[in-house]
Structure 1
Amino acid sequence: MPGFAKKKKHSVMIVEDHSIVRMGLCMLISQLDDMSICQEVDSGDKALEYLKNNKADVIIVDISLNDMNGIDLIKYIRRTDQKVPILVLSVFDETFYADRSFAAGATGYIMKQEASDVIVKAIRTVIAGEIYASEKIRNQLLKKVIGKNDEAGETRISTLTDRELQVFELIGSGHETKQIASILRLSIKTVDTYREHIKEKLNLKNATELIQHASQWELTRRK
């Protein structure tokens, strides 16, 4: 009607390397009257390049990108923008990765398998300045706060730093040291140091045990 100002839509940026998932999110958001896509990219580097000169009201980040770990991307974004809501979209075990995502600066964590209306609710929640997490995640984080984290436990893998975990996951995916160094933009010597730290923390005797353990972990976390 004449005289009525058009309602401003919240701008959404999607960082997702799987084209089908990215297209699905774009279609979902394009149907909403309170959101619009300002940018969609398939890598962390492209996301950071866009954010140098542009802003978004909310950023949806896949936790596993081809060129960098989603947790690393969140940390990079937080160096220059402490306020933008960041919603992590993941297929991986929320009881393990949600904690690390929130520690890096995410404001929400949701599994890709969730229904469309739940994903929309999560986006709107973080845009409103609130934290979004499933009941399972909230209970887990609360147990940590009160010192009763019996369910998650302090497994050996949970003692790995974010970078050590990334190296461990890449080993499990079949990458060799030189490839890992290239992907993470580290020296081969640094990757070797991380490998030694991982073996020590996980009580593994040699490289063979490390590869076997990492491969098993990679299979388990993708179930």
Structure 2
Amino acid sequence: MGIRSAQPRTAERCRVLIVDDHPIVRRGLGQLIDRESDMELIGEADSPSSALDAVEALSPHVVVADLSFEGLDGIELIKDLRARHPGLPVLVLSMHDESFYAQRVLKAGAMGYLMKQEGVEQVVDGIRSVREGRVFLSNRMSQALLSRMTGGSNRPPTYGVESLTDRELEVLRLIGQGRSTRQIAEQLHLSIKTIETHRENIKQKLRLENASQLMQYAVRFAIEPT
């Protein structure tokens, strides 16, 4: 679909760009945004590549982005946006468990994280907050992060998916989607040897003994990463 330009922009309103590969989600979010007197939908994008083009063309104040796209990684989109437009706030709105992903997207450069099950008020509050330069999370996630921060530095090392790098996490997700090492290498524009190294690192960190266990774990993770 690419980019769709929407209403005329005004200086007073917060200009919002939606990035999501589901048309129904984009439509619902657009209607929600356009109901608010202090914000307007200026455009939509259905992929990370079209999102980058849309930001250049439409100059939004805030990007509201999903985290998962067909064969692509929303975390890489956040990193690209931060590198190209360091002052542009991104609010992630995703179906994935915030307890796992929120800290990762904040580290990547986003200003907020909400799950799609949150209420309408949370979404519009999140847009306003990140526009004003404030980090926005759900109350439960804010409390969880505070608990982690006050837990001291003597916690035991983390094993499991939380110990994976963003790239290893992306490789794990693609393995779970049934892609071969060669396909993953082509999709991520990396060498086969690099992907094989990532696979070995993943097995070691997840304490998996062989490729079969890795595949079983990856499939479960692709269905519901928790």
Paired residues of 2:185 and 2:195 also in contact (CA < 8 A)? yes
Quote how far apart the aligned CAs of 1:18 are.
Answer: 1.1
Counterpart selection for 1:43 from 47, 70, 81: 47
Quote how far apart the aligned CAs of 1:197 are.
Answer: 0.9
Aligned to 2:126: 122
The farther-off stretch of 93-102 and 114-123 is 114-123
SS across alignment from 1:221 = coil
Quote the Cα distance in structure 2 between the aligned partners of 1:148 and 1:96.
Answer: 19
Paired residues of 2:42 and 2:58 also in contact (CA < 8 A)? no
Quote the Cα distance in structure 1 between the aligned partners of 2:26 and 2:193.
Answer: 36
Instruction: Tell me the matched-pair count.
Output: 216
Aligned to 2:202: 198
Aligned to 1:187: 191
CA RMSD for the aligned pairs?
2.2
Gaps of 5+ in 1: 1-5
SS across alignment from 1:129 = coil
The reply to whether residue 107 of structure 1 matches residue 99 of structure 2 is no
TM, length-normalised to structure 1: 0.89
Gaps of 5+ in 2: 1-9
Quote how far apart the aligned CAs of 1:54 are.
Answer: 4.0
Counterpart amino acid of 1:145?
A: M
Counterpart selection for 1:62 from 57, 63, 66: 66
Quote the Cα distance in structure 2 between the aligned partners of 1:19 and 1:139.
Answer: 33
- Structure 1 ranges of 4+ moved more than 3 A: none
Quote the Cα distance in structure 1 between the aligned partners of 2:186 and 2:18.
Answer: 25
Quote the Cα distance in structure 1 between the aligned partners of 2:71 and 2:210.
Answer: 28
Identical-pair percentage: 42
The reply to whether residue 86 of structure 1 matches residue 90 of structure 2 is yes
Quote how far apart the aligned CAs of 1:132 are.
Answer: 0.5
Change (3 A) 1:93 1:149: farther
Change (3 A) 1:148 1:217: farther
Paired residues of 1:11 and 1:36 also in contact (CA < 8 A)? yes
The C-alpha deviation readout for 1:172-220, integer Å capped at 9, x for no partner, is 1222222222332222222111111111111111111100111122233
Quote the Cα distance in structure 2 between the aligned partners of 1:105 and 1:19.
Answer: 25
